[in-house]
Amino acid sequence: MPILNEAGHVADAVLSVLEQRYEGPKEVVLALGPSTDGTNEIVEELKRREQRIKAVDSPTGRTPSGLNLAIEASQYPIVVRVDAHTELEPDYTAKGVEALLRTGAADVGGLMDAKGRSPFQRAVASAYHSPLGLGGAAYHSGAPEGPAESAYLGVFRREALAAVGGYDETFWRGQDWDLCLRLREAGFAVWFDPRLRVTYWPRADWDKLVRQFYAAGIWRAELARRHRSGKSIRHFIPPLLVGGLATGAAAAIASFSGSTHNWPAWLKSAASAASLFPVLYGAGVVGASATMRGDLGPAERVRLLAVLPSIHISWGLGYLRGRLFGAAGTVDTSRRKS
């Protein structure tokens, strides 16, 4: 488990690992980044209570390097990746190991079950589950059991991780997808099993949500730059949305200011049509917020009016930035202490 500034989540995350109903021996290896919110002090207290917890220093605090350090310090033939923003269901490990042995796969992943405590966080969680929010990846919205392109978190065979050199530490984000691609290219199988459910706590305020998805868009674009197979049609929808909104806003300003007076008729028509796009998108957001599935009350649905465009636009802007300039040096600042 790589950890950086997770004082509000780390104890529950570690406890969910220790309470796994799994017959075999297990340990918890924590890669501690340079936290500034008291996270490492909480971990020290957990270590005093539980001998199965060990910690390694992760000087950069970056996820892939922390994962590699933790894996190197671990001892067992099966490696379960856990995130400090998650809580495992009690049978997660047992089901994951069973699927690993039954299928012969190198990596098994399951469902990211996003949940929230506040109305805003619950709105974000519902966006995670919906194709109208994050685009409908199998580990968000579910799919039948079977081979997968990527896996959320993952239950791994150690020898498979070693065979492909572990996580690529140049991918500060998106390292899971890159690892799964290299596993598949090396002849290993990646497997999705919906029985494996992980509670995930998304960002709980608007500023961190925007920063998270802006960085996610940049690193998704970096994956597309480096890997020919790192592209999907759904990844182009948010940047096209950003382009459409910008064009529509510019066309509307030009029309209302009278700048189109001397334009050719066809260009005026095009500008008029383009100016409708932001209105149509806004209407779509309202409709999606009103009809989104889930146990959502008025407070959550109102917040979805901000959550959905925040996810779409920040990810789209990040993707455009990443495609143009790459992701070198881009940090997900949503993980920093506010």
Among the residue ranges 79-88, 105-114, 125-134, 166-175, the one predicted with the least confidence is 125-134
Residues in contact with 283: Cβ distance below 8 Å, sequence separation at least 6, in sequence order: none
Answer whether residue 134 shows pLDDT above 80.
no
Token reading at 260: 């189109």
pLDDT given at position 329? 83
**Residue whose tokens read 């075999």:** 24
* Dist CA 188 CA 181 (whole Å): 10
- Domains of the chain (ranges; CATH) run 2-204 (3.90.550.10), 233-335 (no CATH)
pTM: 0.86
Per residue in 290-335, pLDDT (tens digit) is 998 878 999 999 999 999 999 999 999 999 999 999 998 888 888 6
Three-point CA angle 100, 103, 109, nearest 5°: 50
Average pLDDT for the chain: 91
Q: At residue 295, what are phi and psi to the nearest 5 degrees?
A: -85, 75
Answer whether residue 338 shows pLDDT above 50.
no
Identity of residue 22:
Y
* Dist CA 289 CA 127 (whole Å): 9
Q: Chain-centre distance of CA 226, in angstroms? A: 19
Q: Stretch 130-154: mean pLDDT, rounded? A: 78
Task: Check if the beta carbon of residue 103 is closer than 8 Å to that of residue 190.
Answer: no
**Residue whose tokens read 């334009």:** 263
* Dist CA 135 CA 228 (whole Å): 20
Per residue in 18-32, pLDDT (tens digit) is 999 998 899 999 999
Q: Stretch 141-150: mean pLDDT, rounded? A: 82
